[in-house]
Amino acid sequence: MRRRIIDINLAGTAALLEAARIHGVQRIVWFSSIMAYGPRDAAVPVAEDAPLHPVNVYGATKAAGEALLRAYHAEYGVDAVALRVASCYGPGRTTACLVRTLVEDGLAGRATPVRAEPGVTRQHVYIDDVADAACAALFAPSLGQRAYNIGPGAAQTLDEIVQAVRQAVPQAGVQVVAEGMGWNTFPLGPLAIDAARRDLGFAPRTPLAQGAAQVRDWVLARGREASS
């Protein structure tokens, strides 16, 4: 798995940038991650000028990929920008996702086991808002920097997330246990989105409750397709 992550996020990115250099691609928008930052004080917002100190392979490949983007821009003039995305959720996501799991478990009438962890934040942003940011970054006449944070702009408590999901699935709930899921938590403060707001006109427009309802409809549709 680690080798595959490295192949995709580094070798794949290098190949993309080289192709852009050869063929004169106008601009590349590349998805980095909140994981590139690494751990820091969870109470302090994180702006793009914060140093990157990832502590896992995935985060390291994102930080290294950003370095490749900057190098290709400096050396060859390739116009490339990275979006450091928080925890993206919505229809279509099949990897670990707290919102989807809350919806699925709620629909099945069971509580979701969640681990309580001090010093971490939850930062969920809906897929349509991320797509809007990517389009804005692609078509902006000019960009003020090579990386932008894309997230909700604030930390979300577990209770806030559960209450939002309950508006879509009233049976949703959590059971806080030591062996519960720790997915989609980050040991750092909320991503500051001031630069994305300024340069990309970015603002997360989808409330958690609305996004959870979209996830619910998608989960139910998948269930109907599987049973037909």
CATH number of the domain bearing residue 171: 3.40.50.720
- Mean pLDDT in residue range 191-217: 98
What's the confidence (pLDDT) of residue 224? 83
What's the confidence (pLDDT) of residue 225? 82
Task: Answer whether residue 219 shows pLDDT above 90.
Answer: yes
Binned at pLDDT 50, 70 and 90, residue 228 comes out as confident
DSSP assignment of 36-99, as one string? Answer: GS----TTS-B-TTSPP---SHHHHHHHHHHHHHHHHHHHH---EEEEEE-EEESTT--SS-HH
What's the confidence (pLDDT) of residue 181? 87
DSSP-assigned letter for residue 124: E
Q: Report pLDDT digits (tens) over 44-64.
A: 999 999 999 999 999 999 999
Q: Report pLDDT digits (tens) over 99-124.
A: 999 999 999 999 999 998 889 999 99
Query: Which range of residues forms the domain containing residue 170?
Result: 2-227
Residue percentage of the chain with pLDDT more than 70: 100
Residue pair 123/191 in contact (Cβ under 8 Å)? The answer is: yes
Q: Report pLDDT digits (tens) over 128-144.
A: 999 999 999 999 999 99
Binned at pLDDT 50, 70 and 90, residue 12 comes out as very high
Q: How many domains does the chain have?
A: 1
Residue pair 98/122 in contact (Cβ under 8 Å)? The answer is: yes
